[in-house]
Amino acid sequence: MNETTSAAKTPSGATKTKPKAPEVPRFFDALTANQKLMWESMEKARKRGIRINDTLVDSFAKNQEDMVSLMRKLTINPRDYKGNFTAAMDAVTASQGHAMELFKTMLSEYSQSREATKTGAMEFYENSKEIAAAGVEVAQSWTATNPFTESMKKTAAGMKKVADASREALA
């Protein structure tokens, strides 16, 4: 026997060859590939979110440290106007630097996200065409090997004749 047929025992005990469906594994391989693409896209998005959150948390922590340091300096030497003004300006500058770092991270992640979305959409589109083609082949194969297909076609044709005759009789 070749790879497209397999042996099956009939109730009488004789072996009968029935075709294997090589398109079925192709269909499920395409579905599996699509699922893998989806999981990879979700994992990349999760990692981008983690990087943004890490930068946000880091910025928040640094700003809190800078604010506590500034408050300490202002409360220890309240009459040191020049020193307090310099410390306040340093804290504001550092805060702006943290905000810029967060902005750069978000901009970078947005660019990567946009490119990943474009690439992923193209991959999903191409893979969907493969799934559809394999699905059509599976349906055609099953229709061709299904013993009830011909009787269902005859039944549908008979029902159509009855419906047409009924329609003409009522007209």
Pairwise CA distance, residues 23 & 29, whole Å? 10
Q: If we measure between CA atoms, which residue out of 108, 140, 168 comes closest to residue 24?
A: 140
Angle between the N-to-C axes of helices 23-76 and 81-145, in degrees from 0 to 180, rounded to the nearest 10? 170
Q: Which residues lie below 8 Å from residue 9, measured CB to CB, with a gap of 6+?
A: 15, 16
- Model confidence pLDDT, tens digit, residues 104-137: 999 999 999 999 999 988 998 888 888 888 888 8
Model confidence pTM above 0.85: no
Residue 67 has pLDDT above 90, yes or no: yes
More confident residue, 17 or 67: 67
- Model confidence pLDDT, tens digit, residues 10-49: 555 555 444 456 778 888 898 899 999 999 999 999 999 9
User: What is the pLDDT averaged over residues 53-59?
Assistant: 93
Pairwise CA distance, residues 171 & 158, whole Å? 20
